[in-house]
Amino acid sequence: MARLSVKHANQQIVEYRDFTGGLNTSNASEMIQQNELTKSVNVEIDKSTGLLKTVAGTVTLFEQEGVGFTDFTYDKMGDVFVICAKEGQVYTWDRETLSAVGTLTGNVTPAFCPWEDGTLIASGGKMQYYHEGALETLEDSPEVCNGVFVKDGRVWTYYNDRLHTSAVGDETSWETDTEASDSAQWIDIGYKDGGEIVGVVALSSDILIIKSNGHVFHLAGQFPEWVVREVSREVSCKGFRSCVAIVNEAIILGDSLVQDVSTTDTYGDMRAREISTKVRNEIQHLPEAVKLRYMPTLNQIWFVDGDRRFLFFDLDHGGYYQREYSTNLVDACTVGDDVFLLKEDKIQRLDVDSVWDEGELLQWHWRGKTLVSNNEYLVKRGRVDITQFVDNYFDCRFWIGKALLKGTFPWQAQAVYHDYSPIYLNDRELYSTSPSPMFQNSDEVYNNGEYIYGDETELYSLNMFRTDERFIERMRGVKVESAGQGGQLLFNGLNFEIAEV
């Protein structure tokens, strides 16, 4: 016994709880930080607790085969979605009917921008304007409009190294009158410097222009007092939709990295800050047509690349994670607090009460830091704490090296679901013993005299359940991971006792 106690004198408890560091695929699993992940599929950080949780499922709102949707936006004034398809068709969907309204004038990934009583569209040809149920081509706009945004009461677009603006308050007027400051204007950015404008980010008070040669310019002021200054030669932009504004900063996706440019810096001394060192491999393999979509409800940036699995960036904590759906996601946008998804043949909405996507259970999987010993580790005991927001059956497994733990289900899920045991003359209880939660954080109802009838307050299960198992498992490296499907879960923590032997 004395020998055993000496041998296990270096026993320790290891805890995995904080995963706000997000994905780190640039380093070996044993070299990453304790709060990082080597795999992260369909999990994200919960805003209220900072803990890892499973993502919301979807509900399908509209489906039509063969349409080949590619891009969409929400037109607030008309209360419709404006949707583009592979052959350039433009549709609207009013949550009931899909209607064809016209065809795009260009063949680049369209940009959308709200304007007055409708939505402006720039797709590489003349500017278009959807309003009052019709798609209008602005015939006097420039021949090539690669993007669109609104600032200082003007409509802006760009092509090559030139920025064009409409007249103040008039999207149809693009002729310059040298004697009228409110007429249409234009300005060359980095004239003849060998680059073309590939991205423009309109911030709250400034405009950042990114060119194909890596030069970035800052445009400040209003016409005729425009001031243009070159601020960097180290920023690349992968494509027209590869940059996005977040209040006073721009997130720009380049060929091999993502950079953050903030207007709080002194522009003369500004250097872009890389925010993608941990996921360089994933960034390098993104296609040129990738779209950066800001989801303010989630405070996330989605890297929509037309695949089933895609990256997203958590702006609150600065970590990357991944979502995966049953079929390819081609676009996403928000309407109020709702997040809408565009697939090639359907429109969906994220639903926190759903664990499904197109009839398939969403599967989640995460893997943390691997512990490596010079000798061997003896795993002696493991504990997992989860909070469930569902009462249905779900699959929830945790691995501590070779040791397996299963998440504790709500008692409703432990009844007869998938129980194939004989029943006739079987005196085995149909319902297994109801597990007691580790603690209960919800209000009591029994003998509660408070007014209930007509109370629309939603009830949530806030009980935390613990799975606790003893093991005798020896291994050189301890890999910690979890996988499952069919449940909305919050991962409160995983810890285990190990000793180096």
Task: Please state the domain count of the chain.
Answer: 1
Burial class (CB in 10 A: 0-12, 13-18, 19+), 11: middle
The per-residue pLDDT for range 256-274, each reduced to its tens digit, is 999 999 865 454 445 789 9
Distance CA 372, CA 13 (A): 15
Beta bridge partners of 197: 211
Kindly report the average pLDDT of the chain as a whole number.
89
The per-residue pLDDT for range 21-80, each reduced to its tens digit, is 999 999 999 999 999 999 999 999 999 999 999 999 999 999 999 999 999 999 999 999
- Is the model more confident about 477 or about 5? 477
CA–chain centroid gap for 187, Å, is: 35
**pLDDT given at position 491:** 96
Own/partner pairs, 272-279, CB within 8 angstroms, 24+ separation: 272/216, 272/232, 272/234, 272/235, 275/251, 275/313, 275/318, 276/320, 277/26, 278/21, 278/22, 278/23, 278/24, 278/25, 278/26, 278/27, 278/36, 278/320, 279/23, 279/24, 279/25, 279/26, 279/311, 279/320
**pLDDT given at position 155:** 98
The per-residue pLDDT for range 175-217, each reduced to its tens digit, is 999 899 999 999 999 998 999 999 999 988 889 999 999 999 9
**pLDDT given at position 204:** 82
pTM of the model: 0.90
Instruction: Quickly state the pLDDT bin for 395 (edges 50, 70, 90).
Output: confident
Pairing of strands 89-93, 80-85: antiparallel
Dihedral of alpha carbons 403, 407, 412, 413, sign:
negative
User: Which pair of tokens denotes residue 146?
Assistant: 């690669």
**pLDDT given at position 39:** 98
The answer to whether residue 207 sits within a structural domain is no
The one-letter amino acid at 172:
T
**pLDDT given at position 262:** 83
* Residue appearing with tokens 């029943």: 423
Distance CA 56, CA 348 (A): 12
**pLDDT given at position 394:** 81
3-state secondary structure of 455: coil
The per-residue pLDDT for range 408-451, each reduced to its tens digit, is 766 555 554 455 555 555 555 544 455 566 666 555 555 555 55
DSSP state letters, 390-449: --S--EEEEEETTEEEEPPPPGGGGSSTT--S--TT--S-SSPPPPPPSB--S---TT--
The answer to whether residue 275 sits within a structural domain is no
The per-residue pLDDT for range 444-495, each reduced to its tens digit, is 555 555 555 565 555 455 678 889 999 989 999 999 999 999 888 999 999 9
The answer to whether residue 474 sits within a structural domain is yes
Beta bridge partners of 46: none
The answer to whether residue 413 sits within a structural domain is yes
Lowest-confidence range among 101-105, 219-223, 235-239, 387-391? 387-391
Cα–Cα nearest to 45, from 356, 304, 321, 294:
321
**pLDDT given at position 463:** 77
Helices and strands per DSSP (H, E), number in the chain: 2, 43
The answer to whether residue 182 sits within a structural domain is no
The answer to whether residue 301 sits within a structural domain is no
Residue 5 has pLDDT above 90, yes or no: no
Q: What's the average model confidence in pLDDT over 404-408?
A: 86
The one-letter amino acid at 438:
M
Residue 173 has pLDDT above 80, yes or no: yes
The answer to whether residue 32 sits within a structural domain is yes
Distance CA 172, CA 169 (A): 9
The answer to whether residue 383 sits within a structural domain is yes
**pLDDT given at position 416:** 46
The per-residue pLDDT for range 291-345, each reduced to its tens digit, is 999 999 999 999 999 999 999 999 999 999 999 999 999 999 999 999 999 999 9
Radius of gyration for the chain, computed over Cα atoms and rounded to the nearest angstrom: 27
Instruction: Quickly state the pLDDT bin for 157 (edges 50, 70, 90).
Output: very high
Residue 483's domain comprises 2-55+366-500
Instruction: Quickly state the pLDDT bin for 3 (edges 50, 70, 90).
Output: very low
Lowest-confidence range among 22-36, 182-196, 363-377, 393-407? 393-407
**pLDDT given at position 426:** 57
